Structures are given as C-alpha cells and as structure tokens.
Amino acid sequence: MPFRRPQPDARLRLFCFPYSGGGASIYRNWRDALAPDVELCAVQLPGRETRFKEPAATAMADVVEQVAQGIEPLLDRPFALFGHSFGALVSFELAHQLQALGFGPEHLFVSGRQAPQLVYPRPPIHQLGDEAFSDEMRCLNGTPEHVLANAALLSLAIRIVRADYTVCETYRFADGRPLLDCPLTALGGTDDPETTAEDVEGWARQTGGGFEARMIPGDHFFLHAQEPLVLAAISDRLHLTTGS
C-alpha cells in the first residue's frame, strides 16, 4: 500500500495520507526535502491512481483497517503520520488503532482539518446527484480543470471524492477514549474558510504528549501553495524525534 523508496538506514518512517480524491503522487516532491534518515511512505488508498480499479472504502473503520494491514510490515521501526484534510482524520484514527495495539506513532501531523470533536461546518454533500456533486467539487477548488472538463475523468473523480466525503460525513468521533500518547502538530491555512485557527487549536484536546499549532499562509490547499513551509514544520518536529 505505501509507495516508498526504501532506505535501509532510515531511523523513522513518515506515512502520508492524501486529501479527498487525492493519491500518493501529491507527495512526490517530498522525498528529497526530508532528512536522509526519514523514509517517506506515501499511502495509496484503494480507488485512485495505481489502485483505481479497486473500490474505495466509504466507512472510516474500513479505511483504517485497510491501511493498518497494509503498513503492518513497515512498523518495525519508529514512525510518524501525516494527513491533510480527509487524510488528517484517517491518520488520527489510525494513530488510535495502532496505539491500542502497542504500535503508537512517534508524532502525528494533522493538516487542513478541524479537530475531530468539533461539528463539521458544511452541510453534507455525499448523497447529491452527480451534477450537483461536481458543482460542489468546482467550488472546493481541489480538482484540476482538465479533470472537470473531461467527462470520463470527471466521472472517476466523482466516484473517489464521493467515497471520501462519505467517510468524512458519516464519521462519528468516539469520545472517552484514552488520549494519544504522541506529540501532535496541527497545521492550518490562514485563509481556509472551513478551518479557523480555533478549529486547529482544538486538536490540543486529543493528545497528552504535547501539542503545537501552526497557521500557514493560504487557503485549504496551502499544502501545495506553501509546500516549503509545510515541509519545514514537519522537518523541525522530526528532527527532534530522530535526534538527528
């Protein structure tokens, strides 16, 4: 499941999860920007890119179970998790599951997503018809124009994005669980209309291992527009984790 360039001497693996509709390729530029002792593992979820023929999961429990099984052979050394938007929720729930199994991450990075205990600000869209759903995709500004303009590509994109939105919009935060043990860094965009600074600060309630919030210039997709700043924030924390 993870797409990686093996580094036998790596001291830590960084598993990265995409936003709704995204694939492992969104992290293709990260490998050379990380420290040599960090092995990048970009997770390819079913239904997209090289796994486009596989059905995309529509429930969080299924996503987490698929990922946990896929990365299990790579949990033989310290690791961290990073996820943006939809991927932030996936990485958060995965961190809980792995911690319960005795494989907790060294660090959790969540990006472009409000804290899970907060009410999602937008009305649900996953049950809309294809035309209305594609209109919402245009408004969200995360789908390339060439995809929106091509009927076949758009149909595929709708299938994937709808599945991811179904996961997010049917997700229910499980209150009362033990807090995460690992440090947690939450990133947000200063101009993201869906995630305020207060929403980002809310992640502090989810860990007993130390918390940091960083606001980065940009809208919801600051992940790409401000990639050097995002990578710097990650590298700062991983530097402390690995002691390099």
**Domains of the chain (ranges, CATH numbers):** 2-120+177-242 (3.40.50.1820)
Q: Specify the pLDDT at position 102.
A: 93
Q: What is the pLDDT of residue 148?
A: 86
What is the pLDDT at residue 241?
Answer: 65
* pLDDT score for 1: 60
Q: Inform me whether the pLDDT recorded for 243 exceeds 80.
A: no
Give the per-residue pLDDT at 34: 92
pLDDT in tens, 159-177: 999 999 999 999 999 999 9
Q: Indicate if the pLDDT at residue 119 is higher than 70.
A: yes
- What is the chain written as a DSSP string? -EEE---TT-SEEEEEE--TT--GGGGTTTGGGS-TTEEEEEE--TTSGGGTTSPPP-SHHHHHHHHHHHHGGG-SS-EEEEEETHHHHHHHHHHHHHHHTT---SEEEEES---TTSPPSSPP-TTS-HHHHHHHHHHHT-S-HHHHT-HHHHHHHHHHHHHHHHHHHT----TTSPPB-S-EEEEEETT-TT--HHHHHGGGGGBSS-EEEEEESSSTTHHHHTHHHHHHHHHHHHHHHHT-
Mean pLDDT in residue range 216-224: 95
Predicted local distance difference test score (pLDDT) of residue 8: 87
Residue 57 has pLDDT above 70, yes or no: yes
Name the band, by pLDDT with cuts 50, 70 and 90, for residue 122: confident
Q: In the predicted model, what is the mean pLDDT of the chain? A: 93
Catalytic annotation, residues: 85
Q: Could you report the per-residue pLDDT of 63-72, keeping only the tens digit for each?
A: 999 999 999 9
Work out the average pLDDT over 36-45. 95
